[in-house]
Chain A
Amino acid sequence: MSTTHATSETFDRNARAALADPVLHGALRNLADSFVVRRQNAIASAGDWEGLRDRARAIKDETLLHLDQYLERFTENAKKAGATIHWARDGKEACDIVLELVRAKNANMVVKAKSMAGEEIHLNEALEAGGIEPVETDLGEWIIQLAGETPSHIVVPAIHKTKQQIADLFVEKVGIEQTDNVDVLTQTARKILRQRFAEAQVGVSGVNFGVAETGTILILENEGNIRLTTSLTKTHIAIMGIEKVIPNFADLDVFLKLLPRSGTGQRLTAYQSLITGVKKNADDIGPDELHIVMLDNGRSRMLAHPLTRQSLACIRCGACLNACPVYQQIGGHAYGSVYPGPIGAVITPQLFGLSKSKQLPYASSLCGACREVCPVKIDIPALLLHLRSEIAEGSTAAAEATTRKPGESFAFRMYSRMWSTSGTYSLSMRAARLMQRVIARDGKIGKVGGLISRLVPPLGAWTAWRDAPVVAPKSFREMWREKKK
């Protein structure tokens, strides 16, 4: 593919470009309006939402704390049911396994269901390099594939594109007449992809949950392309992150209540496929072979501390993206990772290395909206702070940047002296009140430039990207004194 994609190393630049893109803002406006409201309505139908979240988190904590045991149980039971288990330490190993399996079937194309793990390991590029055509079948993923782009959201991959852009893309790539009708666009995809399904021998999917007790994999969807991928083909290859295992079949209840409500604001998505091994009789419907590729790719490292381990509880619902004021403004591509948004800012550095994504932990105002909506109560702000401190401690460049210049040290000494006694503190406030008359507009201090910013550089730097609050006309102490008179 010739298109170059934004990387996490250039987050600041990516974000600024995104902020200046009015078409992107138009596309992202739907997110807050639709998904956020739909989610709120859906969680009202769930009964004890807080109880469900606690229960889900407790199940995940228990599993992760004994991950080796649950993985052994899961893979043993899946094997008993007829699945073949593969292990991949990293993305390359996983891609090699898939490539070898596809080649063994003499297939020159595979149909693919949306899989974040597949995106993470760049499976499409590996397949193409190996001479095998990957055909994305999820509508959003197919759009992205036609455009030569990467997904910008973990649930709705083409959220950054407007209907008009998608229509133009279809006109150019598949030769339809210009249209503004979403149903026409959708039916175009159905018709074209039906032909690909009819000829496909191998299907590749992800996994939402793997049940240790039964060896079952569960995959959720709305479109039906995952059912087609896993029913029409002879060979089904499922890529599963090692953190996707849960202990018991009955645990699915909790996650089936949380994931659709958090992800798309549905009580339940249209389809769930619970696949346990392969068919029992040769003439039954469905694949002859099920291969489950167990992927580590940096996950096991996150087990080393309870704080980082919670990142592995993520069920990839995307609610934190939808709720995030930063994501809402810049979209997913600016993060330069398959995992964008708050959870992406946390797991990208952990999976792919902090040195390549130093700016991501700062891509947050720490407002806590992500933590509030997370169905498994991941403390994303705490993880962001943890990563920030790792950056500050670990890198000499960062250490140099935080060493104060002499002038700055003098300013901080004065600041601490002035504000440590009440007399000088109130004097400074009165002085500030006088001086701000020159620069305050509509009750706030906006962008400060020119002479003032040269005289008071910190004020200029602070207000370059944000407003500063003004000092109140009267202090609390002054009001208290007047009241007592």
Chain B
Amino acid sequence: MMQSSSHSDARSAIFASIRENLAKSAPFDEARHEPSPVSSAIVAPPATDLLEGFKESLELVGAKCTFVGDESEAAARLRAIVSDISATEIIVSDSELVHRIVNAAKLDAIEDASRDELFSSDVGITSAQFAIAETGTLVLESGAERHRLVSLVPPVHVCVLNASSIRQSMAEILELVDPDANPTITFVTGASRTSDIELTLAIGVHGPGELYVIVIKDR
């Protein structure tokens, strides 16, 4: 590339400046007390029942959460949501769980939607690899599921996941997810929102305006 020589100039100049300035600071740093070792224990709010906690957190951010007993109940719930929002154009990720439930619900859905289909879709259905109870957060890994546009572009996002993927805290999730295998990991907490006009909450500014979560309790 054209800029390679100026690139290396800039890089070495920045590193030289960093080292030179840190050296100037060194006498003051030695005199300073080292920060006391930090405790790794972060006091989390008392863990209520994991599933109930997840549901409460979701409701706090305006999402709707339903527990179902199995995949056929999940299919029935999905049909009800699709009918409530009068959705006709449905797009889905490549999640096998999602495909089974969409089939059981006898819904027509498009996988790998084109740009036009994507932008005109009414609802996007995905799963999630994990979820966080204390914040009501869905954790979606791009390597595990082709979710990135399905969970983002349609006005409504429905997420179906197994209860076993729910954890209490963000700290646990950061241990579980794998950034090396997933170029993008997305955390989703509620619907798209903004307070940019007079700090008044408005929902669905760029992403989905509604989020439905279906948790399959036993499988």
Binding site for B on A (CB under 8 A): 27, 30-31, 34-35, 45, 47-48, 51-52, 54-55, 57-59, 61, 65, 67-68, 71, 81-82, 86-89, 93, 97, 100, 137-140, 143, 156-159, 161-163, 166, 182-183, 185-187, 189-190, 193-194, 198, 211, 214-216, 222-225, 227-228, 230-232, 242, 249-250, 252-254, 256-257, 264, 267-280, 284-286, 294, 296, 300-306, 309
Task: Report whether B187 and A300 are in contact in the complex, using a CB–CB cutoff of 8 Å.
Answer: no
Query: Which residue of chain B is the closest to A26 with respect to CB atoms?
Result: B198
16 new A-B contacts at CB < 8 Å, known A222-B192, A252-B174, A276-B185: A54-B35, A54-B38, A65-B29, A93-B6, A137-B206, A139-B196, A139-B205, A143-B197, A222-B195, A224-B192, A231-B184, A268-B135, A272-B186, A285-B146, A303-B21, A306-B28
Which one, A87, A138, A186, A227, contacts B207 given CB within 8 A?
A: A227
**Closest CB in chain A relative to B75 CB, distance in Å:** 26
CB-defined A-B contacts under 8 Å, sample of 19:
A35-B199, A45-B45, A58-B38, A67-B22, A87-B14, A139-B197, A158-B197, A183-B202, A183-B203, A186-B194, A216-B179, A222-B205, A257-B42, A267-B60, A267-B134, A273-B186, A285-B149, A300-B17, A300-B18
B219 within 8 A of A: no
Task: Report whether A280 and B2 are in contact in the complex, using a CB–CB cutoff of 8 Å.
Answer: no
What 5 pairs between A and B have smallest CB-CB spacing? A224-B207, A140-B196, A47-B43, A224-B206, A300-B17
**Closest CB in chain A relative to B79 CB, distance in Å:** 27
Residues of B within 8 A of A30 (CB): 198-199
A285 to B194, CA, bound (A): 26
B148 within 8 A of A: yes
Query: Which residue of chain B is the closest to A193 with respect to CB atoms?
Result: B206
B17, B19, B190: most-surrounded residue (chain A CB, <10 A): B17
Task: Report whether B43 and A294 are in contact in the complex, using a CB–CB cutoff of 8 Å.
Answer: no
Task: Report whether A272 and B43 are in contact in the complex, using a CB–CB cutoff of 8 Å.
Answer: no
Interface string of B19-44 (1 = CB under 8 A from A): 10110110011001001001100111
B137 within 8 A of A: yes
Task: Report whether A304 and B24 are in contact in the complex, using a CB–CB cutoff of 8 Å.
Answer: yes
Which one, A88, A189, A285, contacts B10 given CB within 8 A?
A: A88
**Closest CB in chain B relative to A63 CB, distance in Å:** 12
Which one, B119, B143, B205, contacts A280 given CB within 8 A?
A: B143
A52 to B7, CA, bound (A): 38
Query: Which residue of chain B is the closest to A143 with respect to CB atoms?
Result: B196
Residues of A within 8 A of B189 (CB): 267-271
A187 to B134, CA, bound (A): 31
A249 to B175, CA, bound (A): 9
Residues of B within 8 A of A139 (CB): 194, 196-197, 205
Residues of A within 8 A of B205 (CB): 139, 186, 189-190, 222-225
B81 within 8 A of A: no
Residues of A within 8 A of B153 (CB): 228
Which one, A48, A158, A232, A306, contacts B43 given CB within 8 A?
A: A48
Residues of A within 8 A of B21 (CB): 300-304
Given A67-B22, A214-B179, A250-B175, residue A224 in contact with residue B3 (CB < 8 A): no
Residues of B within 8 A of A27 (CB): 198
B188 within 8 A of A: yes
Which one, B22, B149, B194, B207, contacts A65 given CB within 8 A?
A: B22
Residues of B within 8 A of A34 (CB): 195, 199
A222 to B148, CA, bound (A): 16
B200 within 8 A of A: yes
Task: Report whether B187 and A272 are in contact in the complex, using a CB–CB cutoff of 8 Å.
Answer: yes
Task: Report whether B18 and A303 are in contact in the complex, using a CB–CB cutoff of 8 Å.
Answer: yes
**Closest CB in chain A relative to B203 CB, distance in Å:** 8
Task: Report whether B43 and A253 are in contact in the complex, using a CB–CB cutoff of 8 Å.
Answer: no
A187 to B80, CA, bound (A): 26
Task: Report whether A190 and B204 are in contact in the complex, using a CB–CB cutoff of 8 Å.
Answer: yes
B76 within 8 A of A: no
Which one, A249, A254, A256, A270, contacts B193 given CB within 8 A?
A: A270
Task: Report whether B194 and A222 are in contact in the complex, using a CB–CB cutoff of 8 Å.
Answer: yes
Within 8 A of A (CB), among B52-81: 57, 60-61
Residues of A within 8 A of B187 (CB): 268, 271-272, 274
A89 to B6, CA, bound (A): 10
Residues of B within 8 A of A137 (CB): 206
Query: Which residue of chain B is the closest to A100 with respect to CB atoms?
Result: B3
B142 within 8 A of A: yes
Task: Report whether B195 and A253 are in contact in the complex, using a CB–CB cutoff of 8 Å.
Answer: no
Residues of B within 8 A of A222 (CB): 192-195, 205
A193 to B206, CA, bound (A): 8
Task: Report whether A51 and B183 are in contact in the complex, using a CB–CB cutoff of 8 Å.
Answer: no
**Closest CB in chain B relative to A464 CB, distance in Å:** 34
B85 within 8 A of A: no
Query: Which residue of chain B is the closest to A211 with respect to CB atoms?
Result: B179
A88 to B13, CA, bound (A): 10
Task: Report whether A304 and B25 are in contact in the complex, using a CB–CB cutoff of 8 Å.
Answer: yes
Task: Report whether B18 and A67 are in contact in the complex, using a CB–CB cutoff of 8 Å.
Answer: yes
Task: Report whether A249 and B194 are in contact in the complex, using a CB–CB cutoff of 8 Å.
Answer: no
B164 within 8 A of A: no
Residues of A within 8 A of B6 (CB): 93
Task: Report whether B206 and A228 are in contact in the complex, using a CB–CB cutoff of 8 Å.
Answer: yes
Given A45-B45, A156-B196, A271-B207, residue A276 in contact with residue B182 (CB < 8 A): yes
Task: Report whether A270 and B142 are in contact in the complex, using a CB–CB cutoff of 8 Å.
Answer: no
Query: Which residue of chain A is the closest to B173 with respect to CB atoms?
Result: A253
Residues of B within 8 A of A304 (CB): 21-22, 24-25
Task: Report whether A227 and B186 are in contact in the complex, using a CB–CB cutoff of 8 Å.
Answer: yes
Given A139-B197, A159-B199, A276-B182, residue A294 in contact with residue B14 (CB < 8 A): yes
Residues of A within 8 A of B199 (CB): 30-31, 34-35, 156, 159
Task: Report whether A296 and B17 are in contact in the complex, using a CB–CB cutoff of 8 Å.
Answer: yes
Given A224-B206, A231-B149, A271-B207, residue A276 in contact with residue B179 (CB < 8 A): yes
Residues of A within 8 A of B13 (CB): 89
A52 to B43, CA, bound (A): 9
B17, B152, B175, B198: most-surrounded residue (chain A CB, <10 A): B198
Query: Which residue of chain A is the closest to B181 with respect to CB atoms?
Result: A280
Given A182-B198, A270-B207, A285-B149, residue A68 in contact with residue B15 (CB < 8 A): yes
A89 to B15, CA, bound (A): 10
Query: Which residue of chain B is the closest to A215 with respect to CB atoms?
Result: B179
A216 to B182, CA, bound (A): 10
A214 to B91, CA, bound (A): 32
Residues of B within 8 A of A97 (CB): 3
